[in-house]
Chain A
Amino acid sequence: MHALVQGVILGVLTGGVYALMASGQTLIFGIMKVVNLAQGAMVIMGAYLAYQLFVSFGLDPFLAIPITTVVMFGLGVAVQLLFLRPLRRDDKSELSLLVTFAVALLLEGIMSVTWSTTYRSINTSYANSSWTVLGYQITAVRVWAFALSLLALGLLFLLLNRTRFGRAVRATVQNPESARLLGIESDRVAALGFGLGAATAAAAGSVYGLLYPFYSGSHYDLISRLLSIVVLGGLGSVGGAVVAGVIVATSSAVVAATVSPAWSEMTFFAVLILVLLVRPQGLFGTVGRGAI
């Protein structure tokens, strides 16, 4: 029982971080119908940027987030303008899967050259501190990571639901042609939306770098998990990604704690398959138009 509760605590805290990573990816899919295979590489890029700011200037990874998100937002907008917009214009959006995979490889190459391929980790002064609550151990860094993820997701929620840009994004996701007919420029929304997805990856990357050691190839493991979460939550649903992130991370941690860590990785995909058998559109997905 103790192991089960400990697994749930660990899973929920980790799930928040996965939710943040996946929210950007599902947002991009919702707006552009593009499965962004570079999202994992963008998270790792965010982790490297936070690492570099920590090593060079002693800047705490949490405090580095405003800087890394701005940089990655710009990178995301550039990727959309340079590589994805031409596909939309030429009506070849189906090639976006290959293009985003190429972007992932490009980012991996840049990271390998810049930081080599050895594992890095961000060791802050509080990296090893933890609290014991009612007999359960809770590491400080995971609590802060969870809190930061909730804060970032809250800001994303406010952006999508309380701003003019957010209304334009939601409208584009739910009915792109109708959005255009109201004067919403779908190209602009797509570029800014992709930038926003990259910015969430940067925020998540800072946190990821605090929790796990990483290297330039870490994005392969990450992208398979992110895709599971996005599909499970329902393609295009940010709320779905949050719920799915918590579900799969908690299931995985519980299995690791109660059965064996060897089975933990598989839990991601087992949960996905089970849910899709019952709800092929995912937990919060819609059969037709997008939802956000």
Chain B
Amino acid sequence: MTAILSLTGVVAGYGAGDILKGVDLTIEKGTITCLIGPNGAGKSTVLKTVSGLLHPREGTVVFDGDEISRLSPKARVQRGIVHVPQERSLFPGMTVTDNLLLGGYLIRDAAVVRSRLEQAWEAFPICRSRAGERAGSLSGGEQKQVELARTLILDPTLILLDEPSIGLDPRSRGIVFESIRTLSASGRTVLLVEQNARSGLAASDFGAVLESGRVRLEATGASLLDDPEVARLYLGAGASAAPSATPPLLAHDDEGMRR
């Protein structure tokens, strides 16, 4: 497999504090990778560092062979990186179609945008049936589908999804994870942050455990799901299901682990 994204020794944060304290992470092309870990571990910060909302203080971010650490969000979008943040990212006062069209803001060829809009409508029929409605009037699950559809307008190589299932009912969660698998099946790479770690890992090819600003473990999604220590700390299994404030360092190296 070919690595599409590599973070090496990335240190990043807000203000004077560092959230990421030396993140090393490699994402393979065409896969779904889920980042899990306790609150405050830096999962969303990893995504912001990849999309350019944050620039690393140290370390490098390499995408498709090029270092992109200092590039603007716009330059990264042009290279095919799309980030769907945790907070609702639609423009609530605009129609669903206007929101989708903004996904193609950087594409000058109207015919290309139109053709991708058709593809997005096909993949997410709700975007066609609610085309003229204000995005802010849609339910949480519907809005998430519009957000995912919007990523298709750019035909991205790498899609960063921050907590796509947060606040959704079980049915909407199912639709969203199915949509993520559809996005991946078309050859795109997905890096996913998911508080609902069990669902996230189940939908992913690979997983990584982030703890205190460092990647402690990388493995296949299935291996992490089967790992009793990971299950105890992050998947809500057993009596001590809830992760403690400072979970112990995961230091074992089961079969299937990449490090």
A interface, CB within 8 angstroms of B:
164, 167-168, 170-171, 174-175, 177-185, 289, 291-292
In the bound assembly, the distance between CA atoms of A182 and B106 in angstroms comes to 8
In the bound assembly, the distance between CA atoms of A185 and B83 in angstroms comes to 15
Q: Which 8 A-B pairs have the closest CB atoms?
A: A183-B77, A178-B89, A183-B106, A174-B91, A183-B74, A180-B73, A181-B83, A182-B105
Task: Determine the chain A residues whose CB is within 8 A of the CB of B102 once the complex forms.
Answer: 167, 171, 179, 182, 184
Q: Is the interface of A mostly helix, strand, loop or mixed?
A: helix
**B132 CB, nearest partner CB in chain A, Å:** 14
Write the chain A residue with the least CB distance to B77.
Answer: A183
**A154 CB, nearest partner CB in chain B, Å:** 20
Size of the B side of the interface (Cβ < 8 Å), in residues, is: 25
Tell me whether B98 and A167 are in contact (CB under 8 A).
yes
**A199 CB, nearest partner CB in chain B, Å:** 23
**B239 CB, nearest partner CB in chain A, Å:** 40
Does B78 belong to the interface (CB within 8 Å)?
A: yes
Tell me whether B77 and A167 are in contact (CB under 8 A).
no
Tell me whether A178 and B85 are in contact (CB under 8 A).
yes
Q: List 5 A-B contacts (CB under 8 A).
A: A170-B93, A179-B91, A179-B102, A183-B106, A291-B93
Tell me whether B94 and A164 are in contact (CB under 8 A).
no
In the bound assembly, the distance between CA atoms of A292 and B89 in angstroms comes to 17
In the bound assembly, the distance between CA atoms of A171 and B95 in angstroms comes to 12
Residue from A164, A178, A183 in contact with B91 in the complex, judged by beta carbons closer than 8 Å: A178
Tell me whether A185 and B91 are in contact (CB under 8 A).
no
Tell me whether A181 and B77 are in contact (CB under 8 A).
yes
Residue from B82, B83, B93, B105 in contact with A168 in the complex, judged by beta carbons closer than 8 Å: B105
Does B72 belong to the interface (CB within 8 Å)?
A: yes
Tell me whether A167 and B105 are in contact (CB under 8 A).
yes
Given contacts A170-B91, A179-B102, A182-B150, 9 further A-B contacts (CB under 8 A): A164-B105, A178-B89, A178-B91, A179-B91, A180-B74, A181-B77, A181-B82, A182-B102, A183-B78
A185-B72, A185-B74 known; A178 and B105 CB under 8 Å?
A: no
**B8 CB, nearest partner CB in chain A, Å:** 23
Does B236 belong to the interface (CB within 8 Å)?
A: no
In the bound assembly, the distance between CA atoms of A179 and B93 in angstroms comes to 14
**A31 CB, nearest partner CB in chain B, Å:** 13
In the bound assembly, the distance between CA atoms of A42 and B102 in angstroms comes to 32
For chain B residues 86-111, which have a beta carbon within 8 Å of chain A?
87, 89-94, 98, 101-103, 105-106
Task: Determine the chain B residues whose CB is within 8 A of the CB of A181 once the complex forms.
Answer: 51, 53, 73, 77, 82-85, 89
In the bound assembly, the distance between CA atoms of A182 and B100 in angstroms comes to 11
**A62 CB, nearest partner CB in chain B, Å:** 33
Residue from A167, A179, A180, A183 in contact with B101 in the complex, judged by beta carbons closer than 8 Å: A167
Task: Determine the chain A residues whose CB is within 8 A of the CB of B77 once the complex forms.
Answer: 181-183
Tell me whether B53 and A174 are in contact (CB under 8 A).
no
Tell me whether B92 and A289 are in contact (CB under 8 A).
yes
**B156 CB, nearest partner CB in chain A, Å:** 11
Write the chain A residue with the least CB distance to B73.
Answer: A180
Tell me whether A170 and B94 are in contact (CB under 8 A).
yes
**B251 CB, nearest partner CB in chain A, Å:** 36
Tell me whether A184 and B94 are in contact (CB under 8 A).
no
In the bound assembly, the distance between CA atoms of A181 and B89 in angstroms comes to 9
Tell me whether A180 and B53 are in contact (CB under 8 A).
yes
Tell me whether A174 and B51 are in contact (CB under 8 A).
no
**A208 CB, nearest partner CB in chain B, Å:** 30
Task: Determine the chain B residues whose CB is within 8 A of the CB of A179 once the complex forms.
Answer: 91, 102
In the bound assembly, the distance between CA atoms of A180 and B77 in angstroms comes to 9
In the bound assembly, the distance between CA atoms of A181 and B78 in angstroms comes to 11
Write the chain B residue with the least CB distance to A181.
Answer: B83
Task: Determine the chain B residues whose CB is within 8 A of the CB of A185 once the complex forms.
Answer: 72, 74
Task: Determine the chain B residues whose CB is within 8 A of the CB of A292 once the complex forms.
Answer: 93
In the bound assembly, the distance between CA atoms of A164 and B109 in angstroms comes to 12
Task: Determine the chain A residues whose CB is within 8 A of the CB of B82 once the complex forms.
Answer: 181
Query: Which among B74, B102, B105, B150 has the highest number of chain A CB atoms within 10 Å?
Result: B102
Tell me whether B91 and A177 are in contact (CB under 8 A).
no
Residue from A178, A183, A184 in contact with B90 in the complex, judged by beta carbons closer than 8 Å: A178
Query: Which among A178, A184, A185, A292 has the highest number of chain B CB atoms within 10 Å?
Result: A178
A182-B105, A185-B72 known; A174 and B89 CB under 8 Å?
A: no
